[in-house]
């Protein structure tokens, strides 16, 4: 049970990009349908991935246990803490979208927030650029995030 709430370090970049691809699909589907259950599912995914990595996330499980093995188990390991930080940013945006939708009944603000999540997920999925990881690196450089959080993330400038 203790291992459930541990984020993996390192993370398979291929699995992360597949998760991001599914997030793009889910956010586009929400933009088209406006389905509130889909909105909750997207938010739950970010909660689960922030807390546990792929362990409790349906999208994470599909990527790590289904799609990566189906593709022949390609592996490119990258540090986990920046990926967790990126999931946390997604959690902030999707939680804000939930609040906007359910508390303020604002579908327009909700669509903008989910659209932002979809945009950044598409950068990861299709270009391999993790904006959250990039910000994480700068926060480490400025000393906001201690280097002890991610020794393998330390870059000399």
Closest residue by Cα to residue 8 from 72, 69, 56: 56
> How far is it between the farthest Cα atoms of the chain?
47
pLDDT value of position 112: 98
> What pTM was computed for the model?
0.93
Is 70 exceeded by the pLDDT of residue 1? no
SS3 12: strand
pLDDT value of position 157: 45
Is 60 exceeded by the pLDDT of residue 151? yes
SS3 78: strand
Q: What percent of the chain has pLDDT over 90?
A: 87
Q: Environment class of residue 71 by beta-carbon count within 10 Å: exposed (0-12), middle (13-18) or buried (19+)? A: exposed
Read off the pLDDT of residues 43-98 as tens digits, 9 standing for 90 and up.
999 999 999 999 999 999 999 999 999 999 999 999 999 999 999 999 999 999 99
Tokens of 27: 């956010």
Closest residue by Cα to residue 59 from 103, 105, 90: 90
Per DSSP, which regions of 4-138 are E strands? 11-12, 77-78
């Amino acid at each position: 049970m203790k291992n459930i709430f541990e984020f993996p370090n390192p993370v398979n970049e291929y699995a992360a990009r597949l998760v991001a691809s599914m997030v793009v699909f889910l956010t586009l589907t929400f933009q088209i349908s406006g389905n509130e259950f889909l909105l909750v599912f997207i938010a739950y995914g970010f909660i689960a991935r922030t807390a546990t990595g792929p362990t409790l996330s349906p999208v994470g499980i599909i990527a790590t246990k289904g799609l990566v093995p189906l593709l022949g188990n390609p592996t490119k390991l990258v540090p986990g803490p920046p990926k967790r930080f990126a999931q946390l940013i997604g959690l902030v945006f999707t939680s804000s979208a939930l609040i906007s939708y359910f508390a303020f009944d604002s579908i327009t603000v909700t669509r903008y927030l989910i659209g932002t999540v979809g945009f950044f997920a598409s950068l990861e999925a299709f270009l391999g650029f993790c904006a959250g990881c990039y910000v994480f690196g700068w926060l480490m450089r400025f000393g906001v995030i201690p280097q002890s959080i991610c020794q393998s993330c330390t870059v000399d400038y």
